[in-house]
Amino acid sequence: MAHAPIHLSPPDMSARERRALLDAFDSNWIAPAGPALNEFEARLRSVSGTEAAVAVTSGTAALHLALRVLGIGPGDIVLVPTVTFVASANVVRYVGAVPHFVDCDPRTGNVDPAQLERAILNLDAVGYRPAAVMTVDLYGACANYSEIERTCRRFDIPIIEDAAEAIGATHLGRPAGSFGKLAAFSFNGNKLVTTGGGGALVGQADLIERARYLSSQARDSALHFEHSELGYAYRLSNISAAIGCSQLERLDRLVARTRAIHRRYVDELSHIEGLDVISQDRDGRGNGWLTVVQIDRDRFAAPASICGRLSDEGIEARPSWKPMHQQPLYLGSPVTGGHAANTHFDQGLCLPSGSALTEAEQTRVIETFTRALGVQPTIELSSLDLRVAQLLPRQDNRVPMS
């Protein structure tokens, strides 16, 4: 019998979310106002330990609002980790500012605090001060804030935390979302907490009030429609927020499950020579959103090739984020460092990590993945022990690049 496909990080819905959605529908609060929206924002304040929250249509919208609220625009530079999803950089362009990319810590993929400081010092030497530092809590693990906050305080640069992937994670006991002056969450369909599509900006109350105003077409207070500033249609619907409330009620359980999945990958894969499972628990406690393995390219095939093998077996895996400074869109953009990020991309592969992944499915992923690692071009090694496969000469042990 054919196996059901295994996705990277699919939504994990329960009867609770379904009931909340139908209740919101039946109440006729379906537009971007209503009790579920208020409750969702209150829950987000509490999860992130922040003063205020505004729920919006996407994480990208939240980041865009953060930059607008901080008054960042043409002529400004924003430091952005080069290893991230493109939205972190795009929003800088939306406001007419320039993203300056910063290399990653080779052990985690998260921004390297030393490279960040180097970027600031180099810019300082030529008379520039970045308008903000955007941090990204990569794959669900917080960036190294102990060092980043110290540096940003020293140079008086505000942090915008892109916590799109990290709801429920912590760093030194503080929750994701609490590190920047403003922080963005994503509730896109592939995130640990999803509203089908959505996001939120959290942080300082006065700044969030301004973001709320901009997110509702910047409507001034008057009976008629009065507008003195450029705004956006970014507010989340009450229906989506109702799903979000139920997801947040289950947050502890969702995180416990993804952390257990991560732990099992660490336990069962890290002994393989030439393979490194990026720990989510190095600088804090990640939420386990995605487990990423780094594959020694002298021993194994390229991540894209291995993803292809997994895909043939109905398992979705992905190469890790391609660095922004390598993206056609951002070629020629300023970057500090970049070698660690290049290696991260060359070696990184994300394994299925969704909270709904069953033990049996994870067993199938681990078996198929280790088999794919040991496969060589012409001889099917599936019947051989992986350790034997690893003894094969280097060239014979590689799957050709697709």
Residues near ligand PLP (CB under 6 A) are 58-60, 84-85, 87-88, 136, 162, 164-165, 186, 188, 199
**Complex with ligand PLP: residue 185 or 369, whichever CB lies closer:** 185
Query: CB 145 → ligand PLP: shortest distance, Å?
Result: 16
Q: Which residues of 52-79 are buried (b: 16+ CB within 10 A; e: fewer)?
A: bbbbbbbbbbbbbbbbbbbebeeebbbb
CA distance 191 to 189: 6
User: Does residue 239 contact residue 20 with C-beta atoms inside 8 Å?
Assistant: no
> Which run of H or E residues covers position 279?
none
Query: CB 319 → ligand PLP: shortest distance, Å?
Result: 15
Query: CB 61 → ligand PLP: shortest distance, Å?
Result: 7
**Complex with ligand PLP: residue 88 or 178, whichever CB lies closer:** 88
CA distance 277 to 384: 23
Query: CB 6 → ligand PLP: shortest distance, Å?
Result: 20
Query: CB 135 → ligand PLP: shortest distance, Å?
Result: 10
User: Does residue 162 contact residue 135 with C-beta atoms inside 8 Å?
Assistant: yes
Residues 6+ apart with CB under 8 A from 108: 138, 141, 144, 278, 279, 282, 283
Query: CB 308 → ligand PLP: shortest distance, Å?
Result: 23
**Complex with ligand PLP: residue 199 or 303, whichever CB lies closer:** 199
**Complex with ligand PLP: residue 59 or 337, whichever CB lies closer:** 59
**Complex with ligand PLP: residue 135 or 246, whichever CB lies closer:** 135
**Complex with ligand PLP: residue 83 or 306, whichever CB lies closer:** 83
Size (the chain), residues: 402
What's the token pair of residue 157? Answer: 């640069």
What's the token pair of residue 80? Answer: 């952005």
Q: Which residue minimizes CB distance to ligand PLP?
A: 59
